[in-house]
Structure 1
Amino acid sequence: MVYELCAEYAEYAGAAGAAGGDTATPIKLWHMIRNAGTDALCGRALRPHAETRSDLEWGTIHPVCHTCGALYLRQVP
């Protein structure tokens, strides 16, 4: 199983449909995904082209979804 951190972007009024992943859209929260999917472990659907990082950065990157973090810790050796 391959895990990655995946960004959830902040939404702004008037920015509906903003692409996310550009430098103008700040990251609201990091979630954990499996096998390059777009659904976080917590169930949140994330943007297909959102920024991802290695799961080895878990614990060094903030803020991280609490639920994803708990589920990740229960699933990795």
Structure 2
Amino acid sequence: MEHEMRAEYAEGVLPHEDTPVKKWHMTRVGATIAMCGQPLAPAAVTQSAGKWGTAEAQPFCRTCGVMYLEEHPQDTE
């Protein structure tokens, strides 16, 4: 299953490329519900799951991280 990271923004803030990201979540590609259950804006910025664990993916949802690791344990090796 393919994954990507999708941005969460402060409540009431519309997604825009200059909008500060409140938190990054892991989703299945194209999904707007994070692995933790958080609904995310369809227009939210996304980035490759390959950036997970890097400075570009911070701050990252801990619950999504746990769930992602359960599906992709080889990503920690």
Please tell me the TM-score bracket, short chain as reference.
0.7 to 0.9
| Partner Cα separation in structure 2 for residue 71 and residue 10 of structure 1 | 23
Quote the residue 1:70 is aligned against: 66
Aligned CA RMSD, in angstroms, stands at: 1.3
The gaps in structure 2 that reach 5 residues or longer are none
The gaps in structure 1 that reach 5 residues or longer are none
Per-residue displacement from partner, 1:29-58 (whole Å, max 9, x unpaired)?
000000310000000000001000000000
Give 3-state SS (helix, strand or coil) of 2:22's partner.
Answer: strand
Give the TM-score taking structure 1 as reference length. Answer: 0.84
Shift of 1:21: 2.3
Higher RCO (Cα < 8 Å, 6 or more apart): 1
Give the TM-score taking structure 2 as reference length. Answer: 0.84
Percent of pairs with identical residues = 46
Tell me which protein shows more helix as a share of its residues. 2
- Corresponding pairs, count: 71
